[in-house]
């Protein structure tokens, strides 16, 4: 289920972002405090970490975020039914 595209080695958008900075927007809400972001120009993805900083979204972080999202949904449903 790997639907990611291969990384582009040369991109005008990447050069633009490296000079002027990224334009990140929230692409996925994992929990109330953890989100995934994607640059609108170069499509770079980052996420919140446990200590509150932002880091590149690796496959390990992606898997962790998927698990956290499932866990959060189960907990939210459990407490909303009670």
- Residues 21-55: pLDDT tens digits? 999 999 999 998 999 999 999 999 999 988 989 99
Determine the pLDDT at residue 79.
77
Determine the pLDDT at residue 37.
97
Q: How far apart are CA 12 and CA 17, in angstroms?
A: 9
Sign of CA dihedral 38, 44, 45, 47: negative
Sorting pLDDT into bands at 50, 70 and 90, what band is 2?
A: low
Sorting pLDDT into bands at 50, 70 and 90, what band is 68?
A: very high
The model carries a pTM of 0.77
Determine the pLDDT at residue 47.
95
Q: How far apart are CA 36 and CA 76, in angstroms?
A: 19
């Amino acid at each position: 289920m790997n639907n990611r595209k291969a990384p582009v080695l040369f991109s005008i958008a990447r050069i633009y972002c490296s000079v002027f900075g990224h334009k990140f927007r929230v692409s996925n809400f994992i929990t109330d405090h953890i989100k995934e972001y994607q640059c609108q120009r170069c499509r770079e993805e980052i996420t919140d970490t446990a200590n509150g900083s932002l880091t590149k979204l690796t496959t390990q972080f992606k898997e962790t975020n998927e698990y956290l999202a499932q866990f959060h949904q189960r907990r939210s449903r459990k407490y909303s039914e009670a």
